[in-house]
Chains A and B, each alone.
Chain A
């Protein structure tokens, strides 16, 4: 019997992260995990709302928690930024009675806490899923040297994300090793790529991106792997040295599923020649 999660797509699911969402759906289906999109959802406020108003940031995220609660299944949030925002609101609803009362009144609901907020890494890196993932691998990523880049949003603050190690997280590394890739040690796993200020301070963002890519290249990486839609777009767009892949794209490559050639063309640094003969 398949496992069922509610699903919050987020705005990038139909724009900059199309290939991430397509790859993720392919991988989840292959692992017999079913998603049910929330009947209604709004933007979580992204990297903007919290800069202007705390009420706005929490209110927009709580709108979606309210919708998820009606569906009575844990909520899967593939976009790292959305996951972070919704988890913050969930944390406030659980731990701050004053804020909870305010949000319940504003949205006209009563928070039950029955629904958990989950990132795609939370769902796919579960220990109990590892045998199924390994079994599904048709063409191991043997010889592919990867660095795993976690960024900010699925890592900090640890009290909200429940990350395994705030300075040296391991879950993407373990998943990539299970696919047969050669996972390299490097220093920038949790460094910020500056994505939130990419549109306003492009030069500074390019500096942060290039430092990360310098370290990845120095470690000997063929590509950088991430689970964050903003990191992927930002790091891919602002340099021409290294392909930047979503972790589910590499899972799909190892599983040999999905329209991968189409996804590779969506990248600024086309990763196609990493997978010759597939």
Chain B
């Protein structure tokens, strides 16, 4: 069972996770590590040990910002960002409650905007995100300033072939 999980994540991410020998360079340079419940080196160990449920419920998989600093420094050339992508996808696919629902709310609102217009329309995307995350007041001053500087357009711009974009969403099960 445990071996299967390691193999599955290695195959899906294309990363040689079995090579991790816990040098902790990843965690030493991670800008988000203070927000993680398990630092990146521990995430690698947990994948090796098959601690699937703990990982899918973890905050770490959502707080990873995919800056790829760890991947650039790993002596075994393991890129942790794509591993995190796999773990996030597994979390959502299996209906596990994400440990950081606000982040999922943003990504969901953002991609919904793409599904509707083919491109992102910031104004409607932000409104959806605010409603979904119930986080109505944060950064309102910033949003207003951006709007006044002409940086949040009122009208959306659309992709001509939105039908094709919707097909991509369908193939991705979103």
Contact = CB atoms under 8 A, between A and B. Distances in A.
A202 B165 CA distance: 31
Nearest to B157: A14
Interface string A185-211: 000001110101101111010001000
A265 interface: yes
Interface string B33-65: 001000000000000000000000000001101
A192 B159 CA distance: 31
A16 B146 contact: yes
A42 B165 contact: yes
Nearest to B65: A196
Interface string B131-167: 0010000110010011001111100010111101101
Nearest to B113: A43
Contacts of B31: 191-192, 194, 208
A266 B151 contact: yes
Interface in A147-176: 152, 155-158, 166-167
Give the interface size bracket for B toward A. Answer: 35 or more
Query: Which interface residue of B85, B102, B111 has the most chain A CB atoms within 10 A?
Result: B111
Contact of B172 (A56, A96, A155): A56
A40 B106 contact: no
B168 A63 contact: yes
A208 B72 CA distance: 19
Given A50-B85, A52-B111, A63 B138 contact: no
A16 B146 CA distance: 8
Give the interface size bracket for A toward B. Answer: 35 or more
B171 A157 contact: no
Interface stretch (B1-9, B20-28, B118-126): B118-126
A111 interface: no
Contacts of B138: 202
A200 B72 contact: no
Given A43-B120, A45-B114, A106-B171, A51 B88 contact: yes
B139 A42 contact: no
A243 interface: no
A48 B106 contact: yes
Interface in A1-56: 11, 14-16, 18, 39-43, 45-56
Contacts of B153: 14-15
B82 to A, nearest CB: 8
A52 B108 contact: yes
A59 B103 contact: no
B32 A204 contact: yes
Contact of B107 (A14, A48, A106): A48
Contacts of A14: 153, 157
B106 A200 contact: yes
Given A45-B114, A52-B108, A191-B31, 17 more contacts: A11-B120, A15-B153, A18-B151, A40-B161, A41-B159, A42-B159, A43-B114, A48-B107, A48-B110, A49-B114, A50-B85, A52-B107, A53-B172, A158-B72, A204-B32, A237-B146, A266-B150
Interface of A: 11, 14-16, 18, 39-43, 45-57, 59-60, 63, 96, 106-107, 152, 155-158, 166-167, 190-192, 194, 196-197, 199-202, 204, 208, 237, 265-266, 268
